[in-house]
Amino acid sequence: MSNETGTVRLHRVLRASAERVYKAFTDKGALEYWLPPYGFIGTIHEMDVRVGGGYKMSFTNFGTGNSHTFTVEFVELVENERIRHTDLFDDENLPGEMIVSINLKPVSCGTDISIVQEGIPAVIPVEMCYLGWQESLEQLAKLVEVDIPE
């Protein structure tokens, strides 16, 4: 089995302001809502939005009740522009530190979002990671693109 790690790159344009998208990446309730792939429930156990801070999160399979936990540490936060964080799985079978870079750029119709996730453990197929991110970003769009009047 190869020890090569994988990289996933995603790009979307969302019909929402960069402020709104940035908030979705740094708000506990928002992350619990949109980040888990389909069929999973997200729980953030603790959260500290600052460089050196981060959050611990579990994804629980709604069908089986099995869950996995990971820890995120923010290494760069540029409000409404850029987020970089490391991800560590709590499972020793999924070793290594992943690095996630999120870049937000205002465009005429909303926000251009570019995500790169590097260092995906060799045991996780990159295409499964990509699929999970696609599902998460669908849910992100449903959250940030809807403008509900008060």
pLDDT given for residue 96 in this prediction? 80
The reply to whether 24 falls in a domain is: yes
Per-residue pLDDT reduced to its tens digit, 1-23: 456 789 999 999 999 999 999 99
pLDDT given for residue 74 in this prediction? 98
Instruction: Give the structural domain span for 126.
Output: 6-144
Q: 53 vs 34, 41, 49, 119, CA distance in Å? A: 21, 23, 6, 20
The reply to whether 1 falls in a domain is: no
pLDDT given for residue 3 in this prediction? 64
The reply to whether 101 falls in a domain is: yes
Q: Are 135 and 38 in contact, with CB atoms under 8 Å apart?
A: yes
Order across the sheet with 40-48: list the strands. 6-14, 110-120, 97-107, 82-89, 67-78, 54-61, 40-48
The single-letter DSSP state of residue 90 is: S
Mean pLDDT (the chain) is 94
Mean pLDDT of 121-142: 93
The reply to whether 110 falls in a domain is: yes
Give me 139's structure tokens. 């849910």
Q: 85 vs 52, 66, 97, 105, 116, CA distance in Å? A: 9, 25, 10, 18, 11
The reply to whether 149 falls in a domain is: no
Mean pLDDT of 83-96: 88
Q: What is the CATH number of the domain that holds 77?
A: 3.30.530.20
| Torsion angles phi and psi, residue 44, rounded to 5 | -100, 125
Count of the separate structural domains present in the chain: 1
The reply to whether 12 falls in a domain is: yes
93 pLDDT higher than 80: no
pTM: 0.93
